[in-house]
Amino acid sequence: MPGGSGFSRDLNAVSELMEHLLQEHFKPRVMSGMVWRPATDVYETEKEFVVRMDVSGLKRDDMKIVLSDGCLSISGVRKDSIPKGRKHFHKMEITVGPFERRIPVPRGWELGEVRAEYVDGVLQVVLEKSTRKEQGVVHVKVE
């Protein structure tokens, strides 16, 4: 397509300029106070309800997982780990600050064991189905 590559270059240049302007206007300390929403997958099998969340850069102790009233709440804080001597950003795409996701557990689920593991930046919480009818609040430790 004639002129296609020139148009792409122009579009990329405009995109980079917009990113630069936004980064200069919204300084990192302001961005770090914003709430972010980690990418999350939720699925069900015959025996389990599974939540997978991309929370790279967090430590296990930076996350809190609570199951209460048919809702799984996952929250935490991604801390800014960029050196203090930085002068300016050329690109800023990794969001820092607090997050919370609330995932409703399907009706009709009687919960058995609840476990969480954190491997390679992905948190996985697994709720097993059970015939027991236990209610209450469950605090889940991340392995």
Q: Let me know if residue 19 belongs to a domain.
A: no
Q: Let me know if residue 65 belongs to a domain.
A: yes
Q: Let me know if residue 10 belongs to a domain.
A: no
Tens-digit pLDDT profile for residues 59-91? 998 999 998 888 899 999 988 777 777 777 777
Tens-digit pLDDT profile for residues 39-67? 999 999 988 999 999 999 999 989 999 98
How many domains does the chain divide into?
1
Q: Let me know if residue 115 belongs to a domain.
A: yes
Partners of 114 in beta bridges: 127
107: three-class secondary structure by DSSP: coil
Q: Let me know if residue 114 belongs to a domain.
A: yes
Q: Let me know if residue 24 belongs to a domain.
A: no
Q: For residue 30, which of 86, 97, 87 has the smallest C-alpha distance?
A: 97
Tokens of 115: 């476990």
pLDDT tier, 9 (very low <50, low <70, confident <90, very high otherwise)? confident
Tokens of 52: 């997978």
Q: Which domain holds residue 39?
A: 32-140
How does 86-110 read in b/e, with b if 16+ C-beta sit within 10 Å? eeeeeebeeebeebebebebeeeee
Tens-digit pLDDT profile for residues 85-127? 777 777 778 888 899 999 998 876 666 788 999 999 999 999 9
CATH code, domain with 109: 2.60.40.790
Q: Let me know if residue 123 belongs to a domain.
A: yes
Torsion over CA: 23, 26, 32, 36 (sign):
negative
DSSP 8-state code for residue 136? S
